[in-house]
Amino acid sequence: MANSFKGEASITIGAKTWTLVCDFNAMAEFEEATGKDAMNAFEKAEEGGVSIADLRHMVHAFLKQHHPEATLQDAGNIMSEDVAIVASVLAAASPTAAEAGDLGNAQKSGNRTG
């Protein structure tokens, strides 16, 4: 099962379950593959303003942690099954302040150092 608080989402196609993860490694994979800034591209993806090729590269990068053998073809097949998987992974990687607080990751006001 995918951990939505770690930027994970899963999809089952046929007999195979694919788990996608949006983390720093995925961002680096995307940047290395496309030469584009991951943060900007992910933001554009959330707004619906990114190319299909970039979406496929995102899915491919998201697959790498759990499926290092995954190909761009696999990424395209996953998108063909459920293009909303990108939005699901990006949303899971960006919990609300309340969700982050529940995880113990929220910065408490007045407790900053430095």
- pLDDT tens-digit series, residues 32-57: 999 999 999 988 988 889 999 999 99
Q: What ranges do the domains of the chain cover? A: 4-96
Contacts of 62 (CB under 8 A, 6+ apart): 20, 21, 22, 26, 86, 89
How many Å apart are CA 24 and CA 20, to the nearest integer?
13
Give per-residue pLDDT as tens, 85-103.
888 888 888 755 554 444 4
85 phi-psi bin (left φ>0, alpha ψ -120 to 50, beta other): alpha
**pTM (predicted TM-score):** 0.76
